[in-house]
Amino acid sequence: QTVVTQEPSFSVSPGGTVTLTCALSSGSVSSSYYPSWYQQTPGQAPRTLIYNMNIRSSGVPDRFSGSILGNKAALTITGAQADDESDYYCVLYMGSGIWVFGGGTKLTVL
Amino acid sequence: QVQLVQSGAEVKEPGASVKISCKASGYTFTSYAIHWVRQAPGQRLEWMGWITAVNGNTKSSQQFQGRVTITRDTSATTVYMEMSNLGSEDTAVYYCVRNRGGSGGNINYFDFWGQGTLVTVSS
């Protein structure tokens, strides 16, 4: 079973830049995995941030960007704000109708 | 506007079954697949499976095969997820989510989420 790995936690200062990553237990993430990113605050449903690796969903601020860095999908927040403090999840399409979420990254802004 | 409205919280005993609904509105129901994702308390999101609204084809994660049944009622624009033989480990918030695009296409992702349904399994 393929595992999708994210950093369990990350910390960034207000106004700083942070890059969260999403890796496969075997192989490299590419656009064919349709990497997407979701933000979730406690008690709320996830919110779609980025899809198709680097396309921002409607209404998402441009401080959020997606890319491929090396063999991983990446979510970069440039100019972090206090309300960016959330859990962030990536999900990858494995083919044959199967999707796998990463373990999520808890981002602290302080 | 697109909305996915889920049924209310459920409390079930171990070994029971639960059926959750997801009422879709604001778009052409048969043009999209609906997926189910769950999240146990303090845990990660977990993909469960999907149904294509146009023809009822389904796919489930191997972890849930045999225990999860996903159906839809096109006249009611509603998708259902039924899980049998519940255990305490199934206590979670269950989300339905719309899949925009599809494999082989230019885009493929989850765009609109339901509000979630808490299922508590306890004796």
Contact B59 A98 (CB under 8 A): yes
Contact A91 B115 (CB under 8 A): no
Closest residue, chain B, to A87 (C-alpha):
B44
pLDDT-based confidence at B105, cuts 50/70/90? Answer: confident
Contact A45 B113 (CB under 8 A): yes
Contact B44 A38 (CB under 8 A): no
Q: Nearest Cβ partner of A45 from B47, B95, B111?
A: B95
Q: Note the pLDDT tens digit of each residue in A33-87.
A: 999 999 999 999 999 999 999 999 999 999 999 999 999 999 999 999 999 999 9
Q: Note the pLDDT tens digit of each residue in A4-13.
A: 999 999 999 9
**Which chain A residues are within 8 Å of B115, Cβ to Cβ?**
45
Q: Decide if A94 contacts A3 (C-beta within 8 A).
A: no
